[in-house]
Amino acid sequence: MEGFLQELIEYNTNGVKKMQEGLLEGAESYFTLGLRLLQRNAASIQTFVPPFTYSQDGLSVPVLPNKAIAQDSDFVALFDRALVLSGNELSDSCIEQKLTAYSGFFMYNFALLTHIRGLPEGNAKRLSQALHMYTLAWQALANTGEANPHVELAVLACISNMAHIHRYFHRMSEVNSCGRWIWERLQQANIPAEERSLLMSNAFFYEQKESFAAFMA
């Protein structure tokens, strides 16, 4: 089982590196291999993980140099950072219980890649696929240890980027629901300052919108 997780981490690392280099097709190849690995081991994946530690150096890395693309949905920003897995989170015990968390992290990164590839031409099919993958990642992480910074960041990133796609398709009710959820979650989230500030823009829009609505009522 530990071999499976190490292999998944390797695919994730190589995929993220390719994203940083702008080699999106190469990144997709690594993530596709990782997805197949997940599918072969699906029976072993649990629905929870115990807490584990993280590096203060950061949990994610930027992968989208063109910030204009990240802002294409007006006021909803894309969280353009891929999640980094070093392997240091693994321990000799409870490895099976960590499978769901690692699967969720991996699925988020694959969703982000698909999301980025769908943005320049407004590819509705890719964006819909990314939305589905963010949902799968969020579901995998939803019942894990929420006090864990890795899990908190991954869940917030999924919801934030789901809002970005919903805004692209003009689904404002869904955008508002995501914004409300992010705003409430960030009040307790234990994540590094840089990632928090990037996520705050979407949450801040929701909070400002609600304040304006209350003022006008």
In a domain, 54, yes or no: no
Q: Is 179 exposed, middle or buried (0-12, 13-18, 19+ CB in 10 A)?
A: buried
Report yes or no on 59 lying in a domain: no
Q: Which residues contact 46 (CB under 8 A, 6 or more apart)?
A: 96, 97, 99, 100
- The answer to whether position 9 is within a domain reads yes
pLDDT value of position 104 = 87
Let me know if residue 51 belongs to a domain: no
pLDDT band at 9 (very low <50, low <70, confident <90, very high): confident
Q: Is the entire prediction scored with pTM above 0.85?
A: no
> For residue 114, is it within any domain?
yes
Is 26 contained in some domain?
Answer: yes
24 falls within a domain? yes
Write down the pLDDT at residue 69: 45
pLDDT single digits (tens) 125-173:
999 999 999 999 998 887 665 467 788 888 999 999 999 999 889 888 8
Distance CA 13, CA 147 (A): 24
Length of the chain: 217
Q: Which residue has the higher pLDDT, 210 or 204?
A: 204
Whether residue 40 is contained in a domain is answered as yes
**Residue 16, CA distances (Å) to 84, 182, 207 in order:** 8, 25, 32
40 token code pair: 């072969």
Q: How many domains, the chain?
A: 1
Mean residue pLDDT across the chain: 75
Q: Which residue range is the domain that position 6 belongs to?
A: 2-44+64-216
